[in-house]
């Protein structure tokens, strides 16, 4: 649950947070009994609790396919991310990974914590993969082959230009968008989306993560991981790690804003993709992460904290997004609100202010032209002073009683 301080500032987070807590408990209860499927869904909860919640929107058949798709690519990503594995060992594994998913005995020890468990017991994922229908298997194999080859390419290649940046993001995330579109089509509920739109869905999420994770990536041990393109950051400093130094704070924020402005290029494609979805469950599955991304960019923009620590949306706001996102009206409304928040932070003296404002104005116009902005709840709340700390504490007491009654052993878990 959210902290007491956050709830005192945002008391209307309480109910969405409670619903999110209950949804998480319900999702854990739905883990299949078969050992290999149980392992897969348990690992999904460990490597990405938010994704594990969102995936519950889907029908069982599609949920199983998406779960395996996610774990296969997460395993591939674990190999790529482990900087302790030598390139001459890593590259062949990445290239051949699409073969390994068919091997019930294959595993490779790398990564840390839950990711090491995933890799050590990857044969369980393969066992589940082999039970999927052929259409799902072919889609997962195709994307794994292409992604592994792309990752291998960038093991030996720096992200120099913006084109390199787009290419890298295509391999590690755009292909995820293409793969999901193929799974939705194989399921039979959606037309096969244009590759350009599917690609943008992945790029928008990936670029948001790369921006937010600057400090984590630059401090990676034993070797830094650098994904910000030199073509952008070299306009501000000589070395990417220089942004950590306080004397470069102004330049750091200017570069950050440049990166956010680049990410905003993909928003129109994302809105087009989501507006074409017909299945309500698939729509929610796709829309929630995209709203989280625009909200994260609004939080990161012009924010020096990106270079000092962890910047992410408060848990209560995340719960609101998950609770409220049911239609394109909600999507347009969220993108409108977060774009307004971002626009209010633009400094006219920023080197990219004009470009940023132009892209934000385009997004805002698209949202207004939808004609549905009046049909949603706003994420921008001017005044919440009617709530008192006493009310918040009372809500916490009610929640504690509720959770203890639900699970008597809860305080000791």
- Could you say which of 225, 230, 315, 324 is catalytic? 225
Distance CA 68, CA 129 (A): 6
* 122 classed as catalytic: no
The CA–CA distances, whole Å, from 252 to 11, 214, 243 equal 34, 11, 5
Segment (H or E) for 128: helix 122-129
* 51 classed as catalytic: no
Q: Are 65 and 135 in contact (CB under 8 A)?
A: no
- Could you say which of 63, 74, 124, 212 is catalytic? 212
Phi, psi angle pair for 138, to nearest 5°: -65, -40
Give rounded-to-5 percent helix, strand, coil for the chain: 75, 0, 25
Phi, psi angle pair for 215, to nearest 5°: -70, -40
Residue 229 has which token pair? 């393109």
Distance CA 72, CA 106 (A): 13
- Could you say which of 122, 184, 227, 285 is catalytic? 285
The dihedral through the CA atoms of 231, 235, 240, 244 has a sign that is negative
* 285 classed as catalytic: yes
User: Largest alpha-carbon pair distance within the chain?
Assistant: 62
- Could you say which of 168, 187, 236, 307 is catalytic? 168
Residue 4 has which token pair? 């007491």
* 168 classed as catalytic: yes
Distance CA 73, CA 43 (A): 13
Rg of the chain in Å (alpha carbons): 22
Residue 411 has which token pair? 């305080």
Cβ partners under 8 Å of residue 309, min gap 6: 215
Residues with catalytic annotation? Answer: 168, 212, 225, 285
């Amino acid at each position: 649950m959210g902290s007491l301080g956050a709830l005192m500032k945002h008391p209307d987070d309480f109910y969405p947070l409670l619903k999110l807590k209950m949804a998480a408990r319900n999702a854990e209860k739905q883990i299949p009994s078969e050992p290999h499927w149980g392992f897969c869904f348990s690992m999904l909860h460990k490597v990405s609790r938010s994704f594990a919640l969102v995936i519950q929107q889907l029908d069982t058949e599609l949920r199983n396919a998406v779960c395996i798709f996610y774990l296969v690519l997460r395993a591939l990503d674990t190999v790529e991310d482990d900087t302790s594995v030598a390139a001459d060992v890593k590259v062949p594994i990445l290239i051949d990974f699409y073969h390994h998913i068919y091997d019930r005995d294959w595993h490779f020890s790398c990564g840390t914590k839950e990711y090491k468990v995933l890799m050590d017991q990857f044969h369980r994922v393969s066992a589940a993969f082999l039970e999927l229908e052929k259409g799902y298997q072919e889609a997962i194999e195709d994307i794994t082959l292409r992604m592994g080859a792309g990752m291998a390419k960038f093991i030996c290649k720096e992200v120099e230009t913006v084109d390199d940046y787009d290419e890298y993001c295509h391999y590690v995330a755009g292909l995820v968008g293409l793969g999901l579109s193929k799974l939705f089509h194989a399921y039979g509920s959606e037309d096969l989306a244009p590759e350009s739109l599917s690609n943008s869905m992945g790029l928008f999420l990936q670029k948001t993560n790369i921006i937010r994770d600057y400090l984590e990536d630059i401090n990676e041990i034993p070797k830094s991981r650098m994904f910000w393109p030199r073509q952008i950051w070299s306009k501000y400093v000589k070395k990417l790690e220089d942004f950590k130094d306080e004397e470069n704070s102004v330049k750091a924020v200017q570069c950050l804003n440049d990166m956010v402005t680049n990410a905003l290029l993909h928003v129109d494609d994302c809105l087009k993709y989501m507006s074409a979805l017909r299945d309500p469950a698939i729509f929610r599955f796709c829309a929630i992460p995209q709203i989280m991304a625009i909200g994260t960019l609004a939080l990161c923009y012009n924010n020096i904290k990106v270079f000092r620590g962890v910047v992410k949306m408060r848990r209560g706001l995340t719960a609101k997004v998950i609770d409220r996102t049911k239609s394109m009206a909600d999507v347009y409304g969220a993108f409108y609100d977060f774009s307004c928040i971002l626009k209010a932070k633009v400094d006219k003296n920023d080197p990219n202010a004009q470009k940023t404002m132009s892209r934000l104005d385009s997004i805002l116009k698209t949202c207004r032209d939808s004609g549905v902005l009046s049909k949603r709840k706003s994420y921008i709340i001017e005044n919440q002073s009617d709530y008192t700390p006493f009310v918040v504490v009372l809500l916490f007491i009610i929640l504690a009683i509720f959770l203890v009654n639900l699970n008597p052993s809860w305080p000791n878990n």
